[in-house]
Amino acid sequence: MTKERKQEIINTFKTHEGDTGSTQVQIAVLTEEISDLNAHLAVHKHDFHSKRGLFQKIGRRKRLMTYLKNNDLKAYSELIEKLGLRG
Domain assignment of residue 30, given as a range: 3-83
How far separated are the first and last CA of the chain, in Å rounded?
25
Show the CA angle centred on residue 44, arms to residues 86 and 31, nearest 5°: 25
pLDDT(73) > 90: yes
- Comparing 43-47, 63-67, 83-87, the range with the smallest average pLDDT is 83-87
Cβ distance 47 to 41 under 8 Å? yes
Give the closest residue to 27 by CA, choosing from 7, 13, 11, 8: 13
Q: At 14, which CATH number?
A: 1.10.287.10
Task: Please give the tally of structural domains in the chain.
Answer: 1
Cβ distance 77 to 87 under 8 Å? yes
pLDDT for 6-63, tens place per residue? 999 999 999 999 988 999 999 999 999 999 999 999 999 999 999 999 999 999 999 9
pLDDT(84) > 70: yes
